[in-house]
Amino acid sequence: MDEQELIIKCLEGDRRSLEQLIHSVQGLIFNLSLRFLWNREDAEDATQEILIKIVTNLSKFNGQSKFQTWVYRVASNYLINLKQTKVESVLTSFDIYADDLKHYKAALEYNLPDKTLLEKEMKVSCTLAMLQCLSRELRVTFILGSILKIKSNVGSEITSTTPENFRKRLEQSRKILSSFLNGNCGVYNPSNNCRCTNRINTALKCGRIEKAKLSFAGKIEFYNAEMEELCSLTGIFQNHGSFKSNADFVTQLNQLISSKQIMNYN
């Protein structure tokens, strides 16, 4: 069954087709949401809300673009218009984040058996936290263009701008992040003192990492170490891999449909 047939079946009320449709897009929505919001619980909540919007507005999809493009547009609009998150209220600028990276609240050395795992958690957490310092417009552009490798003609459609403006925003976001990394990150620029492994104890003490509840490193569907380019902006952000969620979005939506609560969504 092709994409258009699947959508028609969904609009006719076929529950299995709807479940298939949800399965086909929930991963891309969650990965966009997690990178945009940083917090896993917030990303899972956002994913469910976005899926509801897609299901309840499916009849508005006119087929003039790819369905995935339309899904990204719905998701991006939802994320950009969310109220300020707790992380955004703390990481209000790159200067504040840079100052935080200069301070350690615990010993630098960490040598327990889970060091490699926690170092990976630290790295992914830190690089995604950097994105929170970008404006939402630049953040979603960077995620779409640099991390998800979406071309400017499609990215412009998703973000309701022109390809030229999308490229300008992408270039601006890359310059801002490259400047920050070059001045602070020891992975991007070895002359910097900051190292992920040296911040593990501080992150544990401050509650930014919970061993029993890792947000990133323990929940990646695939990770290709060969993708990592230590001095590359693209390499640093793309080598995270693809994040997975344990949330059962299909069951949640089915429950809403059965209870008719989903009819209250616009």
The pLDDT of residue 223: 43
Give the list of residues 6+ apart from residue 39 with CB closer than 8 angstroms, or none: 85, 86, 87, 215
Question: Above 80 in pLDDT, residue 37?
Answer: yes
Check residues 132 and 247 and name the one with the higher pLDDT: 132
What percent of the chain is modeled with pLDDT above 70?
90
On average, the pLDDT of the chain sits at 89
The pLDDT of residue 26: 95
Give the residue extent of every domain in the chain.
3-264
Question: What pTM was computed for the model?
Answer: 0.89
Question: Above 90 in pLDDT, residue 265?
Answer: no
Least confident of 173-177, 181-185, 200-204, 215-219: 215-219
The pLDDT of residue 219: 58
CA distance from start to end of the chain: 28
The pLDDT of residue 224: 42
Check residues 235 and 220 and name the one with the higher pLDDT: 235
- Assess contact for 249 and 47: CB atoms under 8 A: yes
How far is Cα 137 from Cα 169, in angstroms, rounded to an integer?
8
The pLDDT of residue 262: 60
